[in-house]
Amino acid sequence: MSRLDNAIYRENKEWMMNRSKVAVLSGAALFLALTAYATEKLQSGASQKERNVQVQYADKTPPVEEIKNPEKPMNAWYEGTLNYYEFEGGFFGFTSKDGENLLPMGLDKKYHQRGAKLKLYGYIDRDVATIQMWGKPFRVLKVEVIEKGNSTHPSQL
């Protein structure tokens, strides 16, 4: 390697090292700026919350009772009629006296009778997806027969 090549090599090496240092310093400066910005935002948010708390306490009205565990499903009795629907592959659907359509899940097959008048106890299951685009999925826990319906064809069970 000649002296000229050596000099060029050293210049390139120094230039690359300086470029790396500049990149590292720029990254560090950006990190510090973003950290300072985020800290300021958090502190201003906390002071806003403190102001809201002060307003709450300044208000003399009593606090509204909180709903205890609103995610928990509520069990209830529904009275209505069970019918067999031919569309979407066929299924049994329950229509309550109030006109609410429920898709009974876990209903024993011995209750699968067209036109049966039933009382169903359970809850609407919002964590389930079904292929039937009819009614709300309803987890059946208890059943009371009010009036038997028509026997169904075995192909419908």
Structure tokens at 53: 């708390």
32-48 tens-digit pLDDT = 887 877 777 666 665 55
Mean pLDDT of 117-142: 90
Share in percent of the chain as helix, strand, coil (round to 5): 40, 30, 30
pLDDT at 127 exceeding the cut of 60: yes
The mean predicted confidence, pLDDT, of the chain is 78
Residue 117 domain-assigned? yes
Same domain, 31 and 81: no
* Domain CATH number, residue 125: 2.40.50
Residue 69 domain-assigned? no
The domain of 114 spans 76-156
Mean pLDDT of 24-37: 81
* 141/79 Cα distance (integer angstroms): 14
pLDDT at 57 exceeding the cut of 60: no
* 73/105 Cα distance (integer angstroms): 15
The more confidently predicted of residues 52 and 98 is 98
Structure tokens at 122: 């359970």
The more confidently predicted of residues 94 and 49 is 94
Instruction: Give how many domains the chain has, as a whole number.
Output: 2
- DSSP annotation of 87: S
60-85 tens-digit pLDDT = 555 555 555 556 668 889 999 999 98
Q: Which of 51-65, 94-108, 115-129 has the lowest mean pLDDT?
A: 51-65
Q: 127 and 88 in contact (C-beta within 8 Å)?
A: no
Q: What Cα–Cα distance (Å) separates residue 95 from each residue in 22, 77, 121?
A: 72, 13, 14
Residue 6 domain-assigned? yes
Same domain, 47 and 95: no
Helices and strands, counts by H and E, the chain: 1, 5
Mean pLDDT of 128-147: 90
Q: 134 and 103 in contact (C-beta within 8 Å)?
A: yes
Bridge partners, 121 (sequence order): 77, 142
